[in-house]
């Protein structure tokens, strides 16, 4: 739950945070401007190494239900971060959560570990910055054969490369650049890479929330825009919920005695049709039916039918209204003898823009302009969800999403890629932002 802060103090904290991040130390900003050509050269030289890291990560299949693959990739990431000087630990969610399950209630029996790495800086009063990404994908084992890593022209293809292995690689090489630049003017940098994001982070969300409250800024490295630009920074994302519609009817012979049955499939179809108009995209509310199943054999009236829907909202309160309307409408039935029920499960919360995140967005935009990178800052959700929303639950500090590389085709079977010439500019921007955050002094 969000930490309780008195209204007046909360307002003061928010305004103070906004002022602080809107006016990061002029000295730090000047120093970064002076070092921009050197950092640009470092980022350009680092791009081939980042591509090699992407290949290494992509070639480890790590679907959310593939614990063996997740353990393997976690080990690789942990070692890379140790090599850079971090104190690293692997966190098993099952040691603190009895039975974490997905935001749809259908997660694997054992979710993936988290890789937590802590870098201690040399600045006594430096800020603490948290960097997050995820190593799990939506794909089943064997998919790598259909979508291997390859570079074709300006595109690097691979299973999970855009969502979110580019985020993991960008963080690793951001830290590599900081080391190459001999930069340690920060208090602490914490990296958290989880293995259950694609199913709602049931095992990781509590850790993300706790750590979010312990840092002065949180940067999330999901993809940073589409293939044709511009780069996109997001200050707000949608909340996610799942809807389970269940219908119980009565089975009978489909040929000899269909009239003795109660067709659950027909009732479910009726329900979906009368529940199809609950979306209100202008206000950020969406409900789409995505899965359905009924019956077991062709020649029997189906006694049961189930359907699942994906719900999105900009505010958690909007889910309350959606659930109430669902419960109201299912009272109307096509077949009076059928039994209809709805279960509404709230999952990942929305990330909402704050004064502090908007102020940091202004700062990021200024850094992008300095390096002539086309960047758009969005403070309205567009339907996607993010683990950054968990980090925002317990902090007044800025939390932003989209620090990763531009790409396309997330969750697709044969066309997921990142834009190669977008790698170095975004790596440079992320590195400079961490420098500014780490060394900036609050007025």
d(CA 352, CA 362): 16
d(CA 280, CA 84): 47
- Catalytic member of 196, 197, 198, 231: 197
Tokens 């030289």, located at residue: 45
Listing DSSP states for 90-112 in one string gives EE-GGGTSSS---TTS---SSPP
Residue 247: strand pairing partners: 305, 340
From the list 355, 434, 345, 431, the residue with the least C-alpha distance to 105 is 345
Exposed e or buried b for every residue in 109-123, given b needs 16+ CB within 10 A? ebbbbbbbbebebee
d(CA 132, CA 162): 15
Which stretch of DSSP H or E encloses residue 165? none
Listing DSSP states for 418-443 in one string gives EEGGGHHHHHHHHHHHHHHHHH----
Give ∠ CA 413-93-404 in degrees, rounded to 5: 45
Residue 277 known to be catalytic: no
From the list 45, 331, 94, 337, the residue with the least C-alpha distance to 196 is 94
SS3 of 331, please? coil
Query: How far, in Å, are 128, 129, 239, 316, 393 from residue 354 at the CA level?
Result: 19, 18, 16, 16, 12
DSSP collapsed to 3 states, 360-416 = HHHHHHHHHHHCCCCEEEECCCCCCCCCHHHHHHHCCCCEEECCCCCEECCCCCCCC
Residue 259 known to be catalytic: no
Answer yes or no: are the C-beta atoms of 272 and 323 closer than 8 Å: no
SS3 of 3, please? coil
d(CA 408, CA 417): 6
- Catalytic member of 136, 323, 355, 387: 136
Exposed e or buried b for every residue in 192-205, given b needs 16+ CB within 10 A? bbbbbbbbbbbbbb
DSSP state of 320: H
Longest Cα separation, the chain: 86
Answer yes or no: are the C-beta atoms of 397 and 217 closer than 8 Å: yes
**Cα 371–chain centre separation:** 27
Catalytic positions, written as ranges: 136, 197
């Amino acid at each position: 739950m969000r930490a309780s802060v008195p209204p007046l103090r909360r307002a003061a904290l928010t305004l103070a945070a906004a002022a602080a991040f809107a006016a990061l130390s002029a000295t730090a900003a000047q120093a970064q401007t002076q070092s921009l050509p050197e950092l640009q050269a470092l980022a350009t030289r680092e791009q081939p190494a980042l591509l090699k890291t992407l290949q290494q990560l992509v070639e480890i299949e790590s679907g959310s239900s593939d614990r063996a693959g997740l353990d393997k990739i976690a080990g690789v990431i942990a070692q890379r971060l140790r090599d850079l000087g971090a104190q690293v630990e692997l966190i098993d969610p099952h040691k603190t959560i009895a039975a974490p399950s997905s935001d749809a209630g259908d997660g694997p029996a054992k979710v993936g570990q988290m890789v937590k790495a802590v870098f201690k800086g040399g600045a006594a009063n430096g800020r603490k910055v948290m960097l997050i990404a995820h190593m799990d994908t939506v794909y089943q084992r064997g998919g790598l054969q259909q979508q291997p890593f390859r570079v074709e022209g300006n595109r690097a293809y691979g299973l999970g490369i855009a969502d979110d292995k580019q985020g993991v690689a960008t963080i690793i090489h951001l830290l590599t650049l900081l080391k190459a630049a001999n930069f340690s003017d920060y208090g602490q940098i914490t990296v958290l890479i989880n293995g259950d994001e694609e199913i709602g982070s049931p095992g990781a969300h509590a850790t993300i929330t706790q750590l979010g409250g312990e840092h002065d800024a949180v940067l999330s490295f999901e993809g940073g825009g589409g293939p044709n630009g511009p780069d996109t920074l997001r200050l707000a994302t949608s909340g996610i919920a799942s809807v389970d519609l269940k219908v119980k009817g009565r089975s009978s012979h489909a040929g000899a005695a269909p009239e003795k049955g109660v067709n659950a499939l027909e009732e479910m179809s009726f329900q979906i049709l009368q529940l199809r108009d609950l979306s209100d995209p202008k206000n950020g509310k969406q409900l789409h039916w995505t899965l359905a199943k009924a019956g077991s054999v062709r020649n029997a009236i189906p006694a049961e039918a189930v359907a699942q829907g994906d719900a999105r909202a900009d505010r958690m309160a909007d889910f309350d209204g959606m659930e109430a309307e669902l419960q109201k409408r299912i009272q109307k039935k096509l077949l009076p003898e059928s039994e209809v029920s709805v279960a509404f499960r709230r999952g990942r919360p929305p990330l909402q823009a704050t004064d502090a995140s908007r102020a940091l967005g202004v700062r990021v935009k200024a850094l992008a302009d300095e390096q002539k990178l086309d960047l758009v800052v969005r403070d309205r959700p567009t339907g996607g969800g993010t683990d950054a929303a968990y980090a925002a639950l317990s902090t007044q500090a800025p939390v932003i999403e989209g620090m990763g590389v531009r790409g396309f085709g997330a969750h697709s079977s044969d066309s997921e890629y990142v834009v190669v010439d977008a790698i170095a500019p975004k790596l440079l921007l992320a590195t400079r932002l961490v420098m500014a955050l780490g060394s900036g002094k609050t007025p």
